[in-house]
Amino acid sequence: MAPKVLVSDKLSETAVQIFRDRGIDVDFEPNLGKDKDRLAEVISQYDGLAIRSATKVTEKILANAENLKVIARAGIGVDNVDIPAASKKGVIVMNTPFGNMITTAEHAIAMMFAVARQIPEASASTHAGKWEKSRFMGVELTNKTLGVIGAGNIGGIVCDRARGLKMRVTAYDPFLSEERADKLGVRKVELDELLEKSDFITLHVPLTDQTRKIIDADAIAKMKPGVRIINCARGGLVDEAALADALKSGQVAGAAFDVFEVEPATDSPLFNLPNVVCTPHLGAATTEAQENVALQVAEQMSDFLLTGAVTNSLNMPSVSAEEAKVMGPWVKLSEHLGAFVGQMTDEPIKAINITYDGAVAEMNLAALNCAAIAGVMKASNPVVNMVSAPVIAKERGIQISKTTQEKSGVFDAYIKLTVVTDKREKSIAGTVFTDGKPRFIQIKGINIDAEIGGNMLYTTNKDVPGIIGTLGQTMGASGVNIANFTLGRSNVGGEAIALLYVDNPIAPDVLAHLKETGLFESIQPLRFDVA
């Protein structure tokens, strides 16, 4: 029997025809996603579900999805899919992360032109019958300095387009290698230099704890007077209230925003200010982009349903059903190892080296490699998955190597991951115990046995008395419950590490208090996806 797919949101007829041409039975009901009860009623009939943003795939829907094997989102965002519930149900969730890159980059360039020449205000004035030619004095883009914060896929396209406009382009991106910067034709700088010297600043980074309000009052104060700021990436990257104050004072000459801290944005400190261009999250809103992601969804789903190939999956490695049962814990371990090193690295990565020792060396190493690389890359780009991560790593000039070896220690199998930068190497090793749970077994060459939790704290220090007491007392006084506490040292009086598994994220003031003690060389909160 042919696989059966439901398209419950608006998808192009061309995409729907791809399913038919490849022998898949498809029902095209573009308004069904809005009827949750009926979707729950019929979902059991289908092997695949193709959606956009209108369909909400909840745990209730999934509970009835007895035959569903794959959900594919035409677009990058999957906030409308309960991924943990889908994973538990054994349903693959796919997206199309590369279909709207050019469209979003072009929108940023268009917004830069608009704010440079005050086009929206001039248009409104002229429509009103006014002829205020002297009021709208603009600036050229030629020979101006554009500061690009985030030079990944979309940011890289913006760099290329800006160079075509004869702009001087600088980029701040901790994961941008010198080789990649040379290829883009941009100058790699630190954030402070970018802020100080840019005439225009455009943001192209995901919203993470590290990037939230990366442009705040302090950052704005460092900028060149008369700077213009463009944000077509994510709401929350810029402190809108601080920017509004800077626009009123003249420190910032203009701003162009496609995204806002709260969306839909019905109110914002930026609204109704002069020379502020606002659009309602139109970055991906072109006919071409919508067609591209629709075609990609149809191809990806067809490939999976007909051949078992998994592309752009957010919750499953590229492994067969037989391998998945054995490899599941090792895939999770690989992700955790990558996530640890990724969160500990804030400089360009030159290489990722992975060693597979013992029994694990006989597994599907391509999938484990992808999981480890994705773990590293997610620290700077949360939407990366096991398919897109190697592509992004290659674009950034990161060399990936794997080594296999026969059992060489006390463990039947382990994985060691090493990240290489210009300044240092960072390594961590782990294994899977007989209980199926991943463990960290070595950090920086120091042996440990650490259970992995969602929220952790990693510290380094000299092996001196008082460390355990300071950590325990500080956590206790701050109401932070410690689930597990692991220590290790290189030798008596030498380098020592601590890894705490805690119940909740550790507040910044707690970290500040630990730093103030002067006992620790480094203090790093960590997050792991243990679902």
Q: Annotated active-site positions, please?
A: 234, 263, 281
**Dihedral pair phi/psi, residue 518, rounded to 5°:** 75, 5
| Calpha distance 361→407 (Å, rounded) | 9
Which residues, listed in sequence order, are joined to residue 489 by a DSSP beta bridge? 496
**DSSP of 360-412:** GGGS-HHHHHHHHHHHHHTTT-TT--TTHHHHHHHHTT-EEEEEEE---SSSS
- DSSP letter at 22 equals T
Burial of 476 (0-12, 13-18, 19+ CB in 10 A): exposed
CA distance 484 to 277: 50
Identify the CA nearest to 337 among candidates 531, 84, 529.
529
Token pair for residue 265? 């944005």
Q: Could you give the CA distance from residue 434 to residue 451 in angstroms, rounded to a whole number?
A: 13
| CA nearest neighbour of 195 among 169, 217, 175, 221 | 221
* Per-position DSSP letters for 93-144, written without gaps between them: EE--TTTTHHHHHHHHHHHHHHHHHTHHHHHHHHHTT---TTT------TTP
* CA proximity to 105, closest of 144, 159, 142: 159
